[in-house]
Amino acid sequence: MSILLSHISKNFGDFSALHNIDLEIPEGELVALLGPSGCGKTTLLRIIAGLEQADSGNIFLNGEDKTSHHVSERGIGFVFQHYALFRHMTVFDNVAFGLRVKKKEHRPNEAIIAKKVHALLELVQLDWLHDRFPDQLSGGQRQRIALARALAVEPSVLLLDEPFGALDASVRKDLRQWLRNLHHELNVTSIFVTHDQEEAMEVASQVVVLNKGHIEQQGSPADIYDYPANVFVSKFIGQTNEFHLHRHTSDWLKQAGLHIPEEGDKVAHVRPHDIEIVKATDENSPVILKDWQHLGALIRVELTKKLHESEPKTVYAEMPNEQFKRLNLSRGDRVELKIRQAHWFN
Amino acid sequence: MSSISNNVHQTTLDDPTWVRWSLIAIALGFIILFLCVPLLLVIIQAFSKGFAAYFSALNQHDMLAAMRLTLLTALITVPLNTIFGVAAAWAITRFDFRGKDFLITLIDLPFSVSPVISGLIFVLMFGAQGWLGHWLMINDIKIIFAVPGIVLATLFITFPFVARQLIPFMQEMGSEEEEAALSLGASGWKMFFFITLPNIKWALLYGVLLCNARAMGEFGAVSVVSGHIRGLTNTLPLHVEVSYNEYDSVSAFAGASILAGLAIMTLILKTLLEWKQQASRQSR
């Protein structure tokens, strides 16, 4: 089911949490609402769910205006950050809840409910836990039960609030992959909220970057990474080196192989992996190798750039292990940079 | 590590033996002197003229009437205050509105006002010389010196117990489970009966228990509005006082023994409920 938000605004007192949000999400997408804490992403998710009311604007689910529908009538599934499992019910009863509270004329009988609940528990691979209580489960298991419970009512939209936020790093990695696969299987339009850009890039098919109640950019993970729309997105997604254009820097950047636009943009953002290092042939090269760190397959190189007039500035470059070894550099060596590409901003 | 913690243990908690024992003795002596001895005296006095006298005192018409009135008062006030308490706790913990702090203060009002004053307020409102006295007289409605007055005064006095118990509990609980129930399609009532009520039940029962104990034991406010009409407007605590003043000590202490029994039962149930509440809190 497609989701269309038009002119959504929300204030908490004087604080403007969301400002005139327009967003369209096609059917079957797995969308990440990504942004720093306090950017309004959770509020937006709760407004789509109907747990919060927007001050103005409309919400259309599959072309139907649901703005004034109560949360229980929107046909959404919501997975809470801390799962919100009913602690006085078994896993089975938790998942069955949504079916049992249906109005009499729509309520399936207990045999059908049992069949459906077990099928869902098998889908999340936890049927063997059906008679346990939530406090007897691990965080990852609770998360999957919460998901099964939300799916029981066959929601047309699945909303997840920081689905991996409260989990250990290793469990989180597994669950990300698992959620992605599950989405492929079910193909239900899903939105999840996260502040972790790596998570958004890895799991989502579409990423919406939010900041201070505005949408900064929406697109596929590749689009967002390769063509950041503005300084905020460029800095928030992945690492970046920032170069402000002055007379000296512009000469130096030209030497480093960068094409500088005639006029307009004044700030260059360069990803660490777009910087290549070679041993300096010129004794006066302003860049010195300061240190490096191993990041698994990659080496992150920390460089100090000291131009005449400016303070020393740290520049990061990344390259494969092997390549770095071949350069045979040690701390304090002078190097020269080759910059492959940059994003230019005002 | 254990040796270190043992050392700390010794320096902080190993007071000389005599200090320990005298502190325990003082505490124990106090409890015996001020709790156990009076309770024992009540029972001894009640049975001072034998079992037959005790049971015939309990069987007196006035005594039975007092018990009936006490039960009736509790039966009316406890359910009403339970409903009010849940509603107030719900409003305060689940909604944001102006004047919330003021409402919380208002709920506490009966705790901070002397019960006698509370009774007087009702006399000033509904008594013959009160605001509504004239109108009530014309319409032949009796509130003061009658059962409605006693119920009203008790209602006022016991009004904070349930709400006070629930507010901190529901605040701590949060509303996520309730939101989850709604998102799964539950109506407001279903959410309340299937999710909220099971979660708050021990705290609620605890509040109801305290409310009931106070409703049955209230003296001051009820005394002001009751008029002490034997067999008609005397609750059990009032009957005890009246009997005692008339040197009918068996009757007075027999009534007191019933109230004491009620108190002990309340204590046992209270401990049980506290234990249950703890257990349900830990399971989170």
- For A267-278, write each residue's pLDDT tens digit: 888 999 998 888
- Model pLDDT for residues B103-160, shown as the tens digit of each residue: 889 998 888 889 999 889 888 888 888 888 888 888 888 888 888 999 999 999 998 9
Q: What is the mean pLDDT of residues A211-221?
A: 93
Q: Does A135 touch chain B (CB under 8 A)?
A: yes
Which amino acid, one-letter code, is at B261?
A: G
Which amino acid, one-letter code, is at B92?
A: I
- Model pLDDT for residues A182-205, shown as the tens digit of each residue: 899 888 999 999 999 989 999 999
- Model pLDDT for residues A306-328, shown as the tens digit of each residue: 776 666 688 899 999 888 888 88
Q: With contact defined as beta carbons under 8 Å apart, do A292 and A332 qualify?
A: no
Residues of chain B in contact with residue A150, where contact means CB-CB under 8 angstroms, are 183-184
| CA dist B261 → B101, B216, B223, B275 (Å) | 38, 12, 22, 21
* DSSP secondary structure of B107-163: HHHHHHS-HHHHHHHHHHHHSTTSTTHHHHHHTT---TTSHHHHHHHHHHHTTHHHH
- Model pLDDT for residues B70-102, shown as the tens digit of each residue: 999 999 999 999 999 999 999 999 888 888 889
The rounded percent of chain B whose pLDDT value lies above 70 is 94
Inter-chain touch A77–B199, beta carbons under 8 Å: no
Say which of A51, A101, A135 has its CB closest to residue B184: A101
Say which of B179, B194, B280 has its CB closest to residue A84: B179
To the nearest whole Å, the CA of B279 is away from the closest chain A CA by 12
Under DSSP, the state recorded for B34 is I
Q: Does A68 touch chain B (CB under 8 A)?
A: no
Q: Does A48 touch chain B (CB under 8 A)?
A: no
Supply the Cα-derived Rg of chain A in whole angstroms.
25
Averaged confidence pLDDT in chain B: 87
Per-residue burial over A178-217, b = 16 or more CB atoms within 10 Å of its CB, e = otherwise: bbeebbeeeebbbbbbbbbbebbbebbbbbbbbbebbbbb
Q: What is the mean pLDDT of residues B163-182?
A: 92
To the nearest whole Å, the CA of B78 is away from the closest chain A CA by 26
Whole-number pLDDT of residue B10: 52
CB atoms within 10 A of CB B277: 18
Whole-number pLDDT of residue A190: 94
Residues of chain B in contact with residue A51, where contact means CB-CB under 8 angstroms, are 179, 182-183
Is the pLDDT score of A8 beyond 60?
A: yes
Q: Which residue of A has its CA nearest to B189?
A: A101
Inter-chain touch B176–A70, beta carbons under 8 Å: no
Is the pLDDT score of A166 beyond 80?
A: no
Q: How confident is the model at residue A330 (pLDDT cuts 50, 70, 90)?
A: confident
Question: 């029972």: which residue's tokens?
Answer: B43
Averaged confidence pLDDT in chain A: 89
Whole-number pLDDT of residue A310: 61
User: What order do you get walking across the sheet with A206-211 strand by strand?
Assistant: A76-79, A157-161, A189-194, A30-34, A206-211, A214-219
Residues of chain A in contact with residue B200, where contact means CB-CB under 8 angstroms, are none
To the nearest whole Å, the CA of A148 is away from the closest chain B CA by 12
Task: In whole angstroms, give the CA distance from residue A35 to residue A20.
Answer: 17
Residues of B with CB under 8 A from a CB of A: 176-177, 179-187, 190, 194-195, 198-199, 280, 283-284
Q: With contact defined as beta carbons under 8 Å apart, do B191 and B181 qualify?
A: yes
Is the pLDDT score of A34 beyond 90?
A: yes
φ, ψ dihedrals at B250, nearest 5°: -60, -45
Task: In whole angstroms, give the CA distance from residue A259 to residue A273.
Answer: 18
* Beta strands A15-25 and A3-12, pairing class: antiparallel
Q: What is the mean pLDDT of residues B47-53?
A: 87
- Model pLDDT for residues B212-265, shown as the tens digit of each residue: 999 999 998 999 888 888 888 888 899 989 888 988 888 888 889 999 888 889
Inter-chain touch B187–A135, beta carbons under 8 Å: no
Inter-chain touch A86–B180, beta carbons under 8 Å: yes
| CA dist B130 → A77, A149, B121, B202, B223 (Å) | 59, 60, 9, 41, 18
Under DSSP, the state recorded for A260 is P
- Model pLDDT for residues A42-99, shown as the tens digit of each residue: 999 999 999 999 999 999 998 889 998 999 889 899 999 999 999 999 999 999 999 9
Is the pLDDT score of A27 beyond 80?
A: yes
Between the two ends of chain B, the Cα-to-Cα distance in Å is: 31
Give this prediction's pTM: 0.80
- Model pLDDT for residues B7-31, shown as the tens digit of each residue: 445 556 677 888 889 999 999 999 9
Whole-number pLDDT of residue A264: 67
Is the pLDDT score of B281 beyond 70?
A: no
Q: Which residue of A has its CA nearest to B188?
A: A72
Q: What is the mean pLDDT of residues A209-217?
A: 93
Residues of chain B in contact with residue A80, where contact means CB-CB under 8 angstroms, are 176, 179-180
Which amino acid, one-letter code, is at B70?
A: T
Tokens for B206?
């605890």
